[in-house]
Amino acid sequence: MRRAIVGEKKETSMSVPEQPAPQQSAPQQWAWAAPAPVMQTVETEPLEYHRLLRGVANYRWWKPLLLLLLAGVYFGVFTVILAVGFVPLMMAGDPEYLNDLASGSTEIIDTQRPLSVLMSMLSIIVMLPAVILAMLTLGMRPVGRVWSVAARLRWGLLLRLLGAAVLALIAMTAVGMAAEIGLQAIVDPAALSEPPAEADRAFDVNAALISLVLVIVLVPVQAATEEVVFRGLFMQVLGAWLRNPWFAILIPSVAFAMAHIYDFWGLAAVGLMGVVAAWLTWRTGGLEAAIAIHIVNNLVGFGFMVTGFGGETAQTADGGSAGGLLGEIVGLGVFVWLALRIFRKGGHGRSRIDLVQVQAPTLQPALPTSPQMQSQSQPQPPIAGQGGAAAPQADAAAPPSAEPREQPAEPQSPAVEPQSPNPGSEEQQRG
C-alpha cells in the first residue's frame, strides 16, 4: 500500500510542468547618466556666399534671426555711446547745427559743416563692429565669412575691382551728364541758358578742405560697412533659410534704397546699384565688387558736394534725375562686364566647404537570444552523400559593435615624407 502511494506521488510530481524563470527587466537608465553622443566631422555641401551661415558650428534655424537681433542691439548701444560723446563736441564746434537741423534749415550732411560729415560717417561705421561682435557672441567663426567665401577680404581682387569701378564711374558720369543736358534741351530749352543758382552762404574753403579729408579717410570704411550690413548680414540671414539667391538679392536691395533720402529717381538709382552689387556679391562669392563700386561712387558724390559742383554742398532729397539714372545703367553695365572678366581671370572660386560636427548614427545593440535560437544558429553536421561541410558564417552571426571602429593606418615608406593634401582653391578651403 505504501509503495502505491509513493508511486502515485512520483507520478504527481512528474506531471507538474516546470515554471519558467522570471525574466530580469533592464535597469532603468536616467537621462543624466546616458553616455554622451558620439560626434563625427563631416563636410558641408559647397556653400555659395548667401548660404555661408549654414556652415557655422552647431547651426540651428533660429541662429541667423538671433544674429540679426543681436547685431541691432549692439548697434543701438554703440549709437547711444556715440551720441553721448558727440553732443559736447558738436556744441563746442558747431552749436547752431542741431538747432538748424531741427528747424529744417540745414541738411543732415553738409560739407560746409565738417562735424555733420563726421557724425554721419561714424553713425554708419559703428554697424561694422556691431555685426562682428554679434557673430563672435554666437560663435559663428570664422567671422571673415561675412567678407567672402575665403573667410577674409580678398585684397588683390578688391584693388583690381577698384580700377574697374573708376572706369565705370567715368562712363556713368559722362553718360549721365550728357543725357541730362539732352533731356533738358527737349523738355525745357530755356533752362540751359539760365545762370546757376547762387549759394545761400559764402563758400568756406577751410570747411571744404576738412570735409574732403574726412571723406577720403572715412568713405572707404563707411561704404564697406554698408556692404557688410546690406549685402553681407542681410543676404546671409535670408540665404540661411532660402536657397534661391534672388530672395537674398532683392529684399536687402529694397531696404538699402529705403535707407536713403532721395526722390523717385534717386531711389531708383540707389535700388539699381543695390541689386547689381548684391548680384555681383553672389556671383563672385564676396563683397569685393560691391565695396569697390560703392567706394568710388561715394567718393565722386561727396567730391561734387565738397567742391559745390552744381550749386549744392549738402546731400539733398532731389539729387536724382532721369539722366542720372540712365548714366547709372550704362556705368553699372560697364562695371559688371569688367568685374566678371577680372574675377574669371583671377581664378577665384565662389563657394566654400566647411567642416562641421554632427552626431554619429547610433548602432543598436544585439538582442539576447534564447537557448532554442542559439541551438538553431549552430552549424549542422553535413549529411552523408551531400558533399563537404558548409563553412560557418561567423561574420554574419557576430552582433554589430556599438563602439566606433578604428580604421587601420596605411603603412608609409620611411624614405618618403607624407605629402599634405592639396587644399584646393582658397574659396573652397575646409573650414
Q: Please indicate, yes or no, whether the overall pTM of this predicted structure exceeds 0.75.
A: yes
**pLDDT tops 60 at residue 14:** no
- Phi, psi angle pair for 355, to nearest 5°: -100, 125
Report yes or no: 263 and 309 within 8 Å, Cβ to Cβ: no
Over residues 395-402, the mean pLDDT reads: 39
Peptide bond just before 142 cis, omega within 30 deg: yes
Q: What b-and-e string marks burial along 237-256, b requiring 16 or more CB atoms within 10 Å of the CB?
A: bbbbeeeebeebbebbbeeb
pLDDT number for residue 6 = 46
Over residues 105-118, the mean pLDDT reads: 90
Three cell numbers at 177? 551728364
pLDDT number for residue 201 = 65
- Beta bridge partners, 43, equal 355
Report yes or no: 237 and 135 within 8 Å, Cβ to Cβ: no
Mean pLDDT comparison of 36-50, 326-340, 373-387, highest-scoring range: 326-340
pLDDT digits (tens, 9 = 90+) for 154-213: 999 999 999 999 999 999 999 999 998 888 888 777 666 666 556 556 889 999 999 999
Report yes or no: 191 and 184 within 8 Å, Cβ to Cβ: yes
352 membership: H or E segment, kind and range: strand 351-352
pLDDT number for residue 33 = 63
Residue whose C-alpha cell reads 560663435 in the numeric block? 139
pLDDT digits (tens, 9 = 90+) for 301-353: 999 999 988 778 888 877 778 899 999 999 999 999 999 999 999 999 999 99
pLDDT digits (tens, 9 = 90+) for 253-297: 999 998 887 888 889 999 999 999 999 999 999 999 999 999 999
Q: Pick the residue with more confidence: 39 or 3?
A: 39
pLDDT number for residue 200 = 58
In the predicted model, what is the mean pLDDT of the chain? 81
Three cell numbers at 68? 540679426
- Phi, psi angle pair for 259, to nearest 5°: -80, 0
pLDDT digits (tens, 9 = 90+) for 228-241: 999 999 999 999 99
**pLDDT tops 70 at residue 122:** yes
pLDDT tier, 417 (very low <50, low <70, confident <90, very high otherwise): very low
pLDDT number for residue 360 = 81
Report yes or no: 197 and 318 within 8 Å, Cβ to Cβ: no
Over residues 392-414, the mean pLDDT reads: 39
